[in-house]
Amino acid sequence: MMVAPPADSFIAVQGLYKSFLGQPLYEDFNLSLPTNQLISIFGPNGCGKSTLINMISGLLPYDQGQITIHGKPIRQARIGYVFQNYRDALFPWLTAYDNIAYPLRVRGVSAAECHHRIRTLVETFNIRLDLERYPYSFSGGQQQLVSILRALVGDPEVLFLDEPFSALDFETTLFVRDKLQEIFITTGIPMLMVVHNLEEAVYLADQVLLLSKRPTRLVERVPFDLPRPRTPDTLSSPEFIQVSHHCLEIFRQEMGK
Amino acid sequence: MTTTPRLAIRRSRSRSGAATGDRWLPLIGLLVLFGLWWLIAISGWVNPVLLPTPLTTLGALVKGILSGTMVTDFGTTVLRTFAAFALAALVGVPLGVALGSSEKLYRSVEFLIDFFRSTPASALIPMFVLFFGVNNLSKVVIAAFSALLLIVFNSAYGVIHAKQSRILAAQAMGANRWQIFKDVLLFESLPQTFIGLRSGISIALVIVIVAEMFIGTEQGLGKRIIDAQQILNVQDMYASILLTGLLGYSLNMLFLTVEKRLIHWSGK
């Protein structure tokens, strides 16, 4: 039954099964995501959006199926992961610098190389934070930015983001969202992002994956190909409004079923 | 992003106003206690032989310290308490962390730990005397045993209740089991471990004092308190009790200070 995934996909999911407490969540779920894209996942509560990216990123076991990242098993791929709750995902006993360096140190990268990579990162994205401070002394947006840098420093082949804005207030959401767009434009690292807000799902994405209630199906892949960088004006552009409206329409239909 | 400095200023402004007066609040309770004590002592309700005034007691404390014997007793008790604590911490922290990192292992000894933790350590003194005799060692071992249980329990608990999200984060960054253990679990358990160490040294002092009273010894604050009571030297008894209290309080403060500096992230 196994079919080789298309070569130009950064993530390929085939015949995925996962159940929770005897309730099927995913049944023969298939997904193939084209590379160099930023992809948002949106769906009703409890449909297993986070479960899906946790399985793809190897943080959660699944019952059956095959998942590959750039054609390799998950274990062999370099991934970056940004958690929803930065406060519980950063290590408060380490300074921001040591937090960012951690994925490199785990791999045995030398201190000099760590220093070089972090400097490059900080200069490329114009990060103006005192990295010798501890995470808890930063604001929420700054902490989430440190989490994103930590996920980027190891030169990941794919970046997973689990509701990266949902613990932030509106003002900082705008800041982190713009930084994330800047990072995507500069690095081109493919990103898979779970978002709980439709506007945010559409704003940054090349494609929005709309999921159904459980057992979860992929209802539709909605492309959104407005050129980057996208700005606040994007939000009032006819394309954005049309795509958002279409997504909302499908979401309503799914909820009504 | 601009909210941080604004917040900081607001907080420091509101603090500076009330701080000067508030600093002396803890002294009020102390003054009230000494005042009541003094009133009762001079009122004649209680036989003056049983309750000297606070001033007389403080005088006895100073005299005892200057005459040297109280210092020797104090030193002996401190030494025993620290010896017991060191023994308990050296065994207890690694043991607790090891137990905590395997849920099955912990569950299999959980009942034993909970049982002995709930048994008053003083009830075990006669048993320990049977095994270790009435020498210095037995007092240290009993105190160490009771501190050990608290330390093991808290260290294990700290590891078990490590934030799952941080373990996942380390896993996503490619950390192996050993790296997760030494870089995440150990640090996650530290705040709880320190609670164990702090309660451990408190219980060690309690048991050392009780052991000094009932096992028999040449020196020690426990021995001094019971001897003073036996010959109705109440001034010295109260002075020794005060000194023991001071010792316990200082140990607690010492540990809190170390904890605050070392576990700087606790509660943040």
For chain B, the average pLDDT equals 88
pLDDT above 50 (res B12): no
B23-47: per-residue pLDDT in tens? 888 899 999 999 999 999 998 888 8
pLDDT at residue B218 in the model: 87
**B175: which chain A residues are within 8 Å (Cβ-Cβ)?**
106
| CA distance, residue A52 to nearest chain B CA (Å) | 15
Q: Do A139 and B3 touch (CB under 8 A)?
A: yes
d(CA B264, CA A19): 41
Q: What does chain B come to in residues? A: 268
On the question of pLDDT at B4 being above 50, the answer is no
Q: Which CATH number fits domain B54-262: 3.40.1360.10, 3.20.20.10, 3.40.50.300, 1.10.3720.10?
A: 1.10.3720.10
Tell me, what amino acid is at A41?
A: I
**Omega of the bond prior to A215 within 30 degrees of 0, cis?**
yes
Q: For residue B117, is pLDDT > 50?
A: yes
What the block records as the tokens of B82 is: 């620290």
Question: Closest to B174 (Cβ–Cβ): which among A90, A103, A139?
Answer: A103
Kindly state the average pLDDT of the residues A220-246. 92
Q: Which residues are within 8 A (CB) of B111 and not within 5 positions of it... i.e. 6 or more apart?
A: none
Closest to B184 (Cα-Cα) out of B170, B200, B173, B202: B170
From A120's Cα to the closest Cα of chain B, the distance in A is 20
Measured between CB atoms, which of A80, A83, A172 is closest to B1?
A172
CA distance B174 to chain A (A): 7
Lowest-pLDDT range, A80-94, A108-122, B45-59?
B45-59
Verify whether the Cβ–Cβ distance A83 to B190 is below 8 Å.
Answer: no
Residues 6+ apart with CB under 8 A from B91: B148
Domain boundaries, chain A: 9-256
Measured in angstroms, the CA of B150 and the nearest CA of chain A are apart by 24
Chain-chain contact of A83 with B168 (C-beta, under 8 angstroms): yes
Tell if the CB–CB gap between A102 and B4 is shorter than 8 Å: no
| pLDDT score at B19 | 63
Which position has the higher pLDDT, B151 or B15?
B151
Cβ neighbourhood burial of B217 (10 Å; 0-12, 13-18, 19+): buried
Buried b (16+ CB within 10 A) or exposed e, A204-234: bbbbbbbbbbbbbbbbeebebeeeeebeeeb
Q: What is the pLDDT of residue B18?
A: 58
In A, which residues are within 8 Å of B187 by CB distance? 91, 93
Q: End-to-end CA distance of chain A, in Å? A: 31
Residue B1's pLDDT is 38
The amino acid that residue A19 corresponds to is S
Rounded to 5 degrees, φ, ψ at A10 are -85, -25
Query: Which of the two residues, A71 and B238, has the higher pLDDT score?
Result: B238
By C-alpha distance, the chain B residue nearest A91 is: B166
Residues of chain B with C-beta less than 8 angstroms from the C-beta of A173: none
**What pLDDT, on a 0 to 100 scale, did the predictor assign at position B13?**
47
Residue A134 sits at the chain B interface (C-beta within 8 Å): yes
Q: What is the mean pLDDT of residues A95-115?
A: 95
DSSP class of A16:
E
CATH, domain A9-256, list 1.10.10.60, 2.70.150.10, 3.90.120.10, 3.40.50.300? 3.40.50.300
Cβ burial of B220 (10 Å; 0-12, 13-18, 19+) is: buried
**What are A141's two structure tokens?**
């947006």
Distance in Å, alpha carbon of B112 to nearest chain A alpha carbon: 33
pLDDT band for position A114 (cuts 50, 70, 90) = very high
* Average pLDDT over all residues of chain A: 90
- pLDDT digits over A21-73, tens only? 888 899 999 999 988 899 999 988 888 899 999 999 999 999 999 999 988 88
Q: Find chain A residues with C-beta within 8 A of B179's C-beta.
A: 106
CA B69 to chain A, closest CA, distance in angstroms equals 45
3-class SS at A37? coil
Q: Is the pLDDT of residue B7 over 80?
A: no
Q: What φ, ψ does residue A32 adopt, rounded to 5°?
A: -140, 120
Nearest to A91 among B166, B168, B179 (CB): B166
pLDDT at A217 over 70: yes
> How many Å lie between the alpha carbon of B25 and the closest alpha carbon of chain A?
30
Shortest CA distance to A144 belongs to which of A85, A63, A104, A184?
A85
d(CA A181, CA A226): 13
Report, as an integer, the average pLDDT of A7-12: 78
What percent of chain B has pLDDT above 90?
A: 64
Residues of B in Cβ contact (< 8 Å) with A57? 172
Pair B143, B92: CB distance under 8 Å: no
Find where tokens 């699944």 sit: A62
What is the reported pLDDT for A7?
54
Is the omega angle on the peptide bond into residue A232 within 30 degrees of 0, that is, cis?
A: no
Q: How confident is the model at residue A137 (pLDDT cuts 50, 70, 90)?
A: very high
CB contact under 8 A, A103 and B168: no
Interchain proximity B179–A107, CB inside 8 Å: no
Number of Cβ pairs < 8 A linking chain A and chain B = 64
A107 touches chain B (CB under 8 A): yes
Residue B78 pLDDT:
96
* Exposure b/e, A151-178, CB count within 10 A at least 16 = b: bbbbebbbbbbbbbbebbeeebbebbbe
Backbone angles phi, psi at A146, to 5 degrees: -60, -40
The residue-averaged pLDDT of A140-168 equals 92
Q: Of A32, A42, A28, A40, nearest to A10 (Cα)?
A: A32
DSSP B218: S
Average pLDDT over residues B244-261: 94
Question: A188 CB near a chain B CB, below 8 Å?
Answer: no
pLDDT tens digits, B190-199: 999 999 999 9
Q: How far apart (Å, rounded) are the C-alpha atoms in residues A52 and A50?
A: 5
- Disruptive mutation site among B11, B161, B166, B265 for chain A (greatest number of A CBs within 10 Å): B265
The mean pLDDT of A167-176, rounded to a whole number, is: 88
pLDDT attached to residue A71: 86
Identify the pLDDT of residue B99. Answer: 92
Predicted confidence (pLDDT) at residue A4 exceeds the cutoff of 60: no
3-state secondary structure of A87: helix
What would the mean pLDDT of A208-214 be, rounded to a whole number? 90
Whole-number pLDDT of residue A102: 96
Give the nearest chain A residue to B163 (CA atoms).
A88
Domain boundaries, chain B: 14-48, 54-262
Q: Does A51 touch chain B (CB under 8 A)?
A: no
Asked if the model's pLDDT at residue A172 lies above 70, the reply is yes
Chain B within 8 Å of A88 (Cβ-Cβ)?
A: yes
What whole-number percentage of chain A has pLDDT above 70? 97
The answer, yes or no, to whether residue B209 has pLDDT greater than 90, is yes
| Contact residues of B toward A, CB < 8 A | 1, 3-4, 163, 165-166, 168-176, 179, 183-184, 187, 190, 264-265, 268
- Measured CA to CA, the distance from residue B176 to residue A171 in angstroms comes to 37
- Which chain A residues are Cβ-neighbours of B11 within 8 angstroms? none
The mean pLDDT of A160-179, rounded to a whole number, is 90
